[in-house]
Amino acid sequence: MLVAEPADKFANAKASLDAADVGSRRGMSGSFELWIGGYDNVRTRHHPWDKSEFRGAYTTCHVFKQPGWRIYGFKCHPAWAVRFELCVLVHSASKHEHETDEKILRKVTAFSSRVDVIEAVQALEESSI
């Protein structure tokens, strides 16, 4: 997992994780671990959006959940390891309503084509994951 840190207020996932209390951080880490462990689409803890939702526009987006708290990211396959799936964590938000705000998904998707984000993903080739 990679946490986006561009100079953009929307990219607040890292700051939110760093500021979370131990229990909340542990709970969110459990959601991450389910995804990493291959338990995809455990809707109470994390899930993608499929083609039937939002006209299929956000199928690379993924959300990790804790009660009242969400961390949104996008999934990609880095050129240096196309069989490897990476989730770039971008945005953290409070959430108490059922429906996801489409503006959040639109902004998260926009991050996936930013040059600075693409360069950060490609730079992972030289570091350990």
What's the confidence (pLDDT) of residue 3? 57
The confidence band for 91, taking pLDDT boundaries of 50, 70 and 90, is: very high
pLDDT digits (tens, 9 = 90+) for 41-85: 788 999 999 888 888 899 999 999 999 999 999 999 887 777 888
SS3 122: helix
**Residue with more model confidence, 127 or 62:** 62
Helix, strand, coil percentages (3-state) for the chain, rounded to 5, are 40, 20, 40
- pTM across the whole model: 0.88
Radius of gyration of the chain (CA): 14
Residue range 2-29, pLDDT digits in tens: 555 556 789 999 999 999 999 999 999 9
Q: For the residues 89-110, what does the mean pLDDT come to?
A: 91
Q: What is the pLDDT of residue 120?
A: 84
Residue 92: beta bridge partners?
71
Question: What pLDDT does residue 5 have?
Answer: 56
Q: What is the pLDDT of residue 64?
A: 97
Q: How far apart are CA 99 and CA 84, in angstroms?
A: 30
| Residues 45 and 65 sit within 8 Å (Cβ to Cβ) | yes
For residue 54, give both structure tokens.
């939002």
Confidence category of residue 119, pLDDT binned at 50, 70, 90: confident
Q: Please give the average per-residue pLDDT across 112-128, as a whole number.
A: 80
Task: Transcribe 59-121 into DSSP letters.
Answer: TTEEEEEETTEEEEEEEE--GGGTT--EEEEEEEEE--SSSPPHHHHHHHHHHTT-HHHHHHH
Domain chopping of the chain, boundaries: 2-124
